Chain A
Amino acid sequence: MIPRLLAGLSAATLLPAVLLLLPLLHVAPNRLVTGVPVAATDALEAWLWPTVALAAIGLGLLAVGRGKAAAGIAGLACLGALALLLAGLGAGAAELIAGKPLATRARLASGAWIGITVLIGALSLAAQRARLPVGVTSAAAVVGLLTFLWNAGSLDALSLAVELRGRSDTLATAIRDHLVLALGALALAACLTGGLALWRRGRGAVELTVSGLQIVPAVALLGGLVAALSTLLAAAPSLRGYGLSALGSTPALTGVAAFLLLPLWRGQQAARRAACPGHLDAARALGLTRRQILATIRLPLGAPLLVDGMRVAAVQALGLATLGALVGAGGLGTLVFDGMAQFAPDLILLGALPIIVLSLATEAALDGLEAALRRRWPR
């Protein structure tokens, strides 16, 4: 009993400590400098104690409590704390930049980021304990909360919102380019692995090449591809007529696709081996045709493994597509690299947050698909 109480107490004090000890906001004269840190008492003012109390209740209950009811209450407390924290930070930021020059920025600082991350993590844990679908529940709660606060104008004064308003068109284009690049590379790699699977005698060689490619660092492969393509184009300029270019989507698509071959290949080979020879012999003895064997044995056994490989590849594609901006292929990496070049944290975040959200959403969606396939065809 006592260890559990101690665990509950330490969990309950975690977030208040973070919120009170670390700066929650940075107020800077413009978007390029870090600015001066603002502590919780000034950033949250009247919102501070309700936020801290709810967070302590939520996290403490999560550590001590057992059962669905306790988890549900803990989850609601965490969601409430998150709402109060965000609304309070928005209000605090509005107050801090009121009357200051237009370029003044109020930026979320380390304490706020840790607080938000911990609360969202606690929310997912509570959803898991309450036997709710984790991804959907926590995503719906957070998205709903953000939409509500955004529409209410509570977040307007935070610098990330200011940056977003200034660049919403660029962001939309970047997200579209990013998705096109990632999906294109995924499709290219999937076609290639599908084709390679037909070459039965070369399986060993393919395995070796594909895992060897994984060893090459991504930046090196992209750089090498650009160098090779520009040499090729210098030697045979007529190739430009076919849409080939040393920079842009050609090297980016090829480079990203090269790294997706291994997860896709592994998934495919695992799916191929999923049906054991005994099953197949039995099916043949029953007189099933090849097509029937594929539909009734190979597909049900292999599909989840195939989707698993696809999931790993898709998440990698979304991450690697960031590097596409390095060779001029656009995408969210453009915002990240522009932000790095300007040393503008908000711009980096504006590019980085969508990448993280897209990756997590893809991971959750394909995980769900895999689980659904396993339910559809239990072994």
Chain B
Amino acid sequence: MSRISPALAAGLGPFLLGLALAAASHPTIAALVGSGAASRPLPVSRLAELALHHLTLAAAGLAVVSILGVGLGLFATRTRFASFRGSIDTVVAFAQAVPPVVVVALALPVLGFGGPPTLLALLAYGIMPTLRGTVGALDSVSNEARESAQAIGLTPGQILAYVELPLAAKGLVETLRTALILAVSVTAVGALAGASTLGTPIVAGLQNQNIAAMLQGALATAALAFLGDGLLLAIGGWVQGNRQRTAD
């Protein structure tokens, strides 16, 4: 037990903060704050429905972003594709110059209202940081480790599975954390394109002065981000702990 706790403790702070924020988004608490005339707090059922939509959309985007981003990152770090490495940073810089709101807006006339433009924005905005993070994490693996693995006769696939990935695990978890936070954030922006997410009460609240609902949406979105972050941190700590135990 004493061995598990330090690993899980890594994610405990964000997780508890997330729970507190989620509790604060409960209608009875939010109603205390926004007591204006137009304030109508959302019932829990509506909030839960929005959170579920938000989670589904963000999880779908995150899954595609991690598979493509990490996958492309693995390709880019193979020696065969070394010539592509230089262009990655240029493309990353360009992709980051287009803020997610703008991607959502530009996708709107092409893909229509709702989920699709949000997902596109998630992909457009998430893949390049994930790719660069993966490349960075794999670059942090020392050449000595790779060469000694080669020297004892491991195949490239085995080197990747037993040497590179375990050694890069910490960086990879960091990359996935960034991707997760981006996914939750961009999904909230998707409310502007009519996707039904936790951003919806914020955007609608700004338009019709519904302060309580706006606050609920803001707190619940932030709660989702912190809960996800805490979860990934705990997973990262657990992976790290496992590795140390096998190494001992």
A residues near B, CB below 8 A? Answer: 34, 110, 124-125, 212, 214-224, 226-228, 230-231, 234, 247, 315, 318-320, 322-323, 326-327, 333, 336-337, 339-340, 343, 345, 348-349, 351-352, 355-356, 359-360, 363
CB distance B97 to A315 under 8 Å? yes
If the complex has contacts A231-B211, A337-B192, are A223 and B202 also in contact, measured as CB distance less than 8 A? yes
CB distance B222 to A352 under 8 Å? no
If the complex has contacts A322-B99, A340-B105, A349-B106, are A215 and B226 also in contact, measured as CB distance less than 8 A? yes
Q: Which of A214, A336, A340 has a CB less than 8 Å from the CB of B181?
A: A214
Q: Which of A230, A333, A351 has a CB less than 8 Å from the CB of B211?
A: A230
CB distance A356 to B211 under 8 Å? no
CB distance A218 to B205 under 8 Å? no
User: For the complex, is B218 an interface residue (Cβ under 8 Å from A)?
Assistant: yes
- Chain B, Cβ-Cβ closest to A335: B105
If the complex has contacts A219-B202, A363-B93, are A227 and B109 also in contact, measured as CB distance less than 8 A? no
Write the nearest CB–CB distance from B93 to chain A, whole angstroms. Answer: 6
Centre residue among B14, B99, B192 by max chain A CB count within 10 A: B99
A interface SS class? helix
Which residues of B are found within 8 Å of A322, using beta-carbon distances? 99, 101-102
CB distance B99 to A234 under 8 Å? no
If the complex has contacts A34-B109, A220-B222, A226-B214, are A234 and B35 also in contact, measured as CB distance less than 8 A? yes
Write the nearest CB–CB distance from A174 to chain B, whole angstroms. Answer: 14
User: What are 15 inter-chain pairs, A to B, with CB distance below 8 A?
Assistant: A215-B229, A218-B188, A218-B189, A220-B185, A220-B202, A220-B217, A220-B222, A222-B202, A227-B218, A230-B36, A231-B34, A319-B100, A355-B102, A359-B97, A363-B93
CB distance B108 to A217 under 8 Å? no
Q: Which of A34, A327, A333 has a CB less than 8 Å from the CB of B206?
A: A327
Q: Measured between alpha carbons, how far is A318 from B96 in the docked complex, in Å? A: 11
Q: Measured between alpha carbons, how far is A313 from B190 in the docked complex, in Å? A: 23
Centre residue among B102, B193, B199, B225 by max chain A CB count within 10 A: B102
If the complex has contacts A340-B108, A348-B109, A359-B97, are A221 and B218 also in contact, measured as CB distance less than 8 A? yes
Number of chain B residues close to chain A: CB under 8 A: 48
CB distance A336 to B97 under 8 Å? no
User: For the complex, is B138 an interface residue (Cβ under 8 Å from A)?
Assistant: no
Q: Measured between alpha carbons, how far is A351 from B103 in the docked complex, in Å? A: 12
User: For the complex, is B191 an interface residue (Cβ under 8 Å from A)?
Assistant: yes
Write the nearest CB–CB distance from A63 to chain B, whole angstroms. Answer: 11
If the complex has contacts A217-B225, A352-B102, are A223 and B206 also in contact, measured as CB distance less than 8 A? yes
CB distance B221 to A217 under 8 Å? yes
> CB within 8 Å of A: which of B180-197?
181, 184-185, 188-189, 191-193
Q: Measured between alpha carbons, how far is A124 from B221 in the docked complex, in Å? A: 40
Q: Measured between alpha carbons, how far is A223 from B212 in the docked complex, in Å? A: 10
User: For the complex, is B33 an interface residue (Cβ under 8 Å from A)?
Assistant: yes
- Chain B, Cβ-Cβ closest to A352: B102
* Sample of 7 further A-B pairs with CB below 8 A, known A247-B206, A336-B101: A223-B217, A226-B211, A231-B211, A319-B100, A322-B102, A355-B98, A356-B102
Which residues of B are found within 8 Å of A355, using beta-carbon distances? 98-99, 102
- Chain A, Cβ-Cβ closest to B18: A215
Write the nearest CB–CB distance from B207 to chain A, whole angstroms. Answer: 10
- Chain B, Cβ-Cβ closest to A361: B97
> CB within 8 Å of A: which of B207-228?
211-212, 214-215, 217-219, 221-222, 225-226
- Chain A, Cβ-Cβ closest to B178: A214
Which residues of A are found within 8 Å of B219, using beta-carbon distances? 220, 224
Q: Measured between alpha carbons, how far is A326 from B193 in the docked complex, in Å? A: 13
Interface string of B100-131 (1 = CB under 8 A from A): 11100110111000000000000000000000
> CB within 8 Å of A: which of B17-49?
17, 33-36
Write the nearest CB–CB distance from A140 to chain B, whole angstroms. Answer: 18
Write the nearest CB–CB distance from A322 to chain B, whole angstroms. Answer: 5
Q: Measured between alpha carbons, how far is A198 from B248 in the docked complex, in Å? A: 42
Which residues of B are found within 8 Å of A333, using beta-carbon distances? 101
Q: Measured between alpha carbons, how far is A219 from B198 in the docked complex, in Å? A: 10
Q: Measured between alpha carbons, how far is A234 from B37 in the docked complex, in Å? A: 11
CB distance B226 to A326 under 8 Å? no
Q: Measured between alpha carbons, how far is A333 from B105 in the docked complex, in Å? A: 10
Which residues of B are found within 8 Å of A234, using beta-carbon distances? 35-36
Write the nearest CB–CB distance from A163 to chain B, whole angstroms. Answer: 13
If the complex has contacts A219-B188, A219-B199, A343-B109, are A227 and B211 also in contact, measured as CB distance less than 8 A? yes
Which residues of A are found within 8 Å of B212, using beta-carbon distances? 227
If the complex has contacts A217-B184, A220-B202, A363-B93, are A356 and B98 also in contact, measured as CB distance less than 8 A? yes
CB distance A215 to B225 under 8 Å? yes
- Chain A, Cβ-Cβ closest to B87: A125
Q: Which of B34, B185, B192 has a CB less than 8 Å from the CB of A340?
A: B192
User: For the complex, is B203 an interface residue (Cβ under 8 Å from A)?
Assistant: yes
CB distance B96 to A223 under 8 Å? no
CB distance B105 to A348 under 8 Å? yes
Write the nearest CB–CB distance from B223 to chain A, whole angstroms. Answer: 9
Write the nearest CB–CB distance from A125 to chain B, whole angstroms. Answer: 8
Q: Which of A110, A320, A348 has a CB less than 8 Å from the CB of B108?
A: A348
